Amino acid sequence: MTKKAPYKGVLIAGAGPVGLVAAADLVQRGIPVTVLEASTALSEESRASTFHPPTLDMLDSLDSAEDLIATGLVAPKFQFRSKRHGVIAEFDFGAIADRTQHPYRVQSEQFKLTRILLAKLVDRPGFGIEFGKRVDG
């Protein structure tokens, strides 16, 4: 997918989660953005599996948290375990429910987030993306 836009505003190298989150934030603020991605498509690597509460709050401000949560598993608690001792510690995100809108972790693949972000960006005025374009400097 290529959506050409005049190179004005901000140029972003790379359509990974960092580049597309930056693009979503800038476009939301009315600043035009062109993303140049070296590969011919978004990465299909899974990589990240865990999204933490502050990340979900941040994605919410970009209208993307709900769609991501729908793709994953919601974990209101997590545990440290060892083979010998079993559960060593358990953390309950309910303890920070007054500090976050998302008192849980979400287990989902990183490639799902970049697709959600791009789908929301692609028709926004001021947004452009070109694949197969490596930034050299």
Ligand X SMILES: Cc1cc2nc3c(=O)[nH]c(=O)nc-3n(C[C@H](O)[C@H](O)[C@H](O)COP(=O)(O)OP(=O)(O)OC[C@H]3O[C@@H](n4cnc5c(N)ncnc54)[C@H](O)[C@@H]3O)c2cc1C
Residue ranges in contact with ligand X by CB under 6 A: 13-19, 36-39, 43, 47-50, 110, 134-135
Q: Which is nearer to ligand X, 125 or 136 (CB)?
A: 136
121 to each of 19, 25, 98, how far by Cα in Å?
12, 10, 31
User: Taking the complex as a whole, how short is the minimal distance between the CB of residue 84 and ligand X, in angstroms?
Assistant: 25
Q: Which is nearer to ligand X, 52 or 124 (CB)?
A: 52
Q: Which residue is nearest to ligand X (CB)?
A: 16
Instruction: List b or e across 59-87, with b for residues whose CB sees 16 or more CB atoms inside 10 angstroms.
Output: bbebebbebbbeebeeeeeeeeeeeeeee
Report the SS3 class of residue 46: coil
Q: Which is nearer to ligand X, 51 or 86 (CB)?
A: 51
